[in-house]
Chain A
Amino acid sequence: MYTQGLLHAKDDDRAAPEPADRLARFQARIDAEEKIEPNDWMPEAYRRTLVRMISQHAHSEIVGMLPEGNWLTRAPSLRRKAALLAKVQDEGGHGLYLYAAAETLGVSREELMEQLLLGKAKYSSIFNYPTLSWADIGAIGWLVDGAAIMNQIPLCRCSYGPYARAMIRICKEESFHQRQGFEIMLTLARGTSEQKAMAQDALDRWWWPSLMMFGPSDTQSQHSDASLRWKIKRFSNDELRQKFVDATVPQGRFLGLAFPDADLRYDEAAGHWRFGAIDWAEFRAVLAGNGPCNRQRLAQRSAADERGRWVRAAATAHAEKRRARAAE
């Protein structure tokens, strides 16, 4: 989801023409719900779409560790700290599963990481918002991981085998993330009036950015068609967004909190919660690098990469020395 259905197809889509019979056979395999595996023949556009999607997803997991990492040393209790640490560690693991899945398509993790650090790669817009209070950790688990789950469950059936398998592992681990976030929100919502106000403030700030996580509306998104036809995605951005709203609004009402949307109302006939207009200008600004924390996130990521450089160099030198000794 973290892929946001962006998948900018800026690079050249006019590679060498692919034989129509091969394309037809490929589509027939997809239609028959066969999984595509790394060394199978695949259209170049399928491969490129997956590389973009999986790497955006991987970057999002890794950058997503930063806003939550911000509260690790200030968690209100040891129980909360242990849970948050485990969650952040999971997100690191998710990033690694996904980079490994992307590598099966012929790109290296180093290349992908380089694109991220150079600011050429996208990651989910949500992680460019700041975590100002402890309640934000609750809101992220409940809403951001909740939105991620909504997007990721259908990806477990993605036509590309390695991505689908990574998603199955990830989905198993996500549900604790959402539950620990909701528990934080519930504790605050039932606490003192200041604590309840903190929870409300977090919901006010995270609600709209969470809805934006599903990416541009179907009328705007240029990539949905091919992704759906290839069964990379199973639902459109708007369908997933609606599912998320329908699942989440009752939870927010249970918390006794108000959603920051005057137009939110239940459509009895359709059985859906209807929500107000999303501020797509804000979404585009954040994607373009002008969210509240874009520069800080990339700077933190670059610093981590830089500080780890000597460790990687030392590990490689050590391995080489031992290999040389063994060969003597």
Chain B
Amino acid sequence: MSERAMPLWEVFIRSRNGLAHKHVGSVHAADAAMALQAARDVYTRRGEGLSLWVVPSSAITASDPAEKDMMFEPTGSKIYRHPTFYKVPDDVGNM
């Protein structure tokens, strides 16, 4: 079994216009055109989408989950970024 491993691609589907493409899974394929074909067969057998993206998995740079505190914690204390931080008198109505 000295076959070369097929490259891995991540698959994204736009389920309908107006929505963003969403990650649905991955496929193995030799090139982009075949990855698109495989993604169509594997992930859209029941009208799941209108548009497909395939991206080489190796092209994705991901944050390290072990560093999630360092990455995301700082926003936790910035409550003034949320509308509820500000008091507006009821008389003013909806704002």
Given contacts A96-B42, A97-B25, contact A322 B31 (CB under 8 A): yes
Q: Which residues on the B side are within 8 Å of A110 (C-beta)?
A: 1, 3, 5
Q: Is the CB of B45 within 8 A of A89?
A: yes
Q: Is the CB of B27 within 8 A of A316?
A: no
Rounded to whole angstroms, the CA-CA distance of A41 and B28 in the bound complex is 26
Q: What residue in chain B is nearest A162 (Cβ atoms)?
A: B25
Q: What residue in chain B is nearest A37 (Cβ atoms)?
A: B65
Rounded to whole angstroms, the CA-CA distance of A89 and B8 in the bound complex is 21
Interface: A301 (CB within 8 A)? no
Q: What's the dominant secondary structure at chain A's contact region?
A: helix
Distance from A36 Cβ to chain B, minimum over Cβ atoms (Å): 10
Q: Is the CB of B28 within 8 A of A109?
A: yes
Q: How many residues of A contact B (CB 8 A)?
A: 28
Q: Is the CB of A93 within 8 A of B65?
A: no
Q: How many residues of B contact A (CB 8 A)?
A: 23
Q: Is the CB of A319 within 8 A of B31?
A: yes
Q: What residue in chain B is nearest A172 (Cβ atoms)?
A: B46
Q: Which residues on the B side are within 8 Å of A100 (C-beta)?
A: 25-27
Interface: A251 (CB within 8 A)? no
Interface: A31 (CB within 8 A)? no
Q: Is the CB of B5 within 8 A of A108?
A: yes
Q: Which residues on the A side are within 8 Å of B50 (C-beta)?
A: none
Interface: A14 (CB within 8 A)? no
Given contacts A39-B64, A89-B45, contact A96 B27 (CB under 8 A): yes
Rounded to whole angstroms, the CA-CA distance of A231 and B42 in the bound complex is 28
Distance from B24 Cβ to chain A, minimum over Cβ atoms (Å): 8
Given contacts A41-B66, A315-B30, contact A97 B42 (CB under 8 A): yes
Interface: A145 (CB within 8 A)? no
Interface: A309 (CB within 8 A)? yes
Rounded to whole angstroms, the CA-CA distance of A93 and B27 in the bound complex is 11
Q: Is the CB of A40 within 8 A of B65?
A: yes
Rounded to whole angstroms, the CA-CA distance of A37 and B23 in the bound complex is 15
Q: Which residues on the A side are within 8 Å of B8 (C-beta)?
A: 103
Q: Is the CB of B3 within 8 A of A90?
A: no
Interface: B95 (CB within 8 A)? no
Rounded to whole angstroms, the CA-CA distance of A301 and B22 in the bound complex is 33
Q: Is the CB of B65 within 8 A of A39?
A: yes
Given contacts A37-B65, A100-B25, A315-B34, contact A93 B45 (CB under 8 A): yes
8 tightest CB-CB pairs across the interface, nearest first? Answer: A315-B30, A319-B31, A319-B30, A100-B26, A39-B65, A316-B30, A114-B1, A40-B65
- Chain A interface residues toward B at CB < 8 A: 37, 39-41, 86, 89-90, 93, 96-97, 100, 103, 108-110, 114, 165-166, 169, 173, 309, 312-313, 315-316, 318-319, 322
A-B contact pairs, 13 of them (CB 8 A): A39-B62, A39-B65, A96-B42, A100-B26, A100-B27, A108-B5, A169-B25, A173-B46, A315-B29, A316-B6, A318-B31, A319-B30, A322-B31
